[in-house]
């Protein structure tokens, strides 16, 4: 295996985890894009439509939408359906407030294009680092 890729950003909500990445190139609104009862992306035009955010490191450029999205993120956490961490290129206040009240580690100022869905990543929001431990690109290369 190649050396792990380490991405540096700004830690916003402290915490650590290791989990599988779920990555989107599109912004996410927790009010309207995510079903608070299932944790699934329900916006039909979204690239992650039908995927569940539960226990994933959710990586996306930034949030958008209503301030109620913060409460939806909190509700996901209370129901055991929240992501383990959130990684953004640019922090949106709605996502930050939701991550704070739900106690979800969050880092921004990260190039989320360096992470692929299915990568195993280690998030350390104390240090502001995201380490790609196991890359799906490496796994795919082994199969060819």
Question: Tens digit of pLDDT for each residue in 62-113?
Answer: 999 889 999 999 999 999 999 999 999 999 999 999 999 999 999 999 999 9
> How does DSSP assign 22-70, residue by residue?
EE-SS-B-TTTSB-TTT-BB--TTSTTTT-B-TTSEEEES-B-S-THHH
Residues in the chain: 144
* CA Rg value for the chain: 14
Examine the pLDDT at 138 and tell me if it is beyond 90: no
Catalytic residue (one of 66, 70, 75, 135): 66
Q: What percent of the chain has pLDDT over 70?
A: 93
pLDDT for the residue 1: 53
Whether 66 is catalytic: yes
Distance CA 74, CA 78 (A): 6
**Ordered domains of the chain (ranges, CATH):** 5-143 (3.50.30.10)
The predicted-structure confidence for 15-41, as pLDDT tens digits, reads as follows 999 999 999 999 999 999 999 999 999
pLDDT for the residue 143: 44
Reported as a pLDDT band with limits 50, 70 and 90, residue 142 is low
SS3 87: strand
């Amino acid at each position: 295996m190649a050396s792990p890729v380490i991405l540096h950003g700004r830690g916003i909500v402290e915490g650590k985890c290791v989990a599988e990445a779920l990555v989107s190139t599109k912004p996410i609104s927790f009010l309207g894009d995510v079903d608070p009862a299932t944790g699934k992306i329900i916006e039909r035009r979204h690239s992650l439509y039908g995927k569940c955010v539960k226990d994933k490191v959710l990586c996306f450029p930034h949030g958008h939408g209503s301030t109620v999205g913060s409460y939806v993120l909190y509700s996901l956490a209370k129901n055991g359906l929240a992501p383990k961490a959130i990684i953004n290129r640019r922090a949106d206040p709605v996502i930050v407030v939701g991550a704070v009240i739900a106690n979800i580690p969050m880092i921004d100022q990260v190039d989320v294009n360096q992470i692929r869905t299915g990568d195993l990543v280690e998030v350390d929001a104390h240090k502001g680092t995201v380490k790609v431990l196991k890359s799906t690109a490496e796994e795919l290369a082994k199969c060819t």
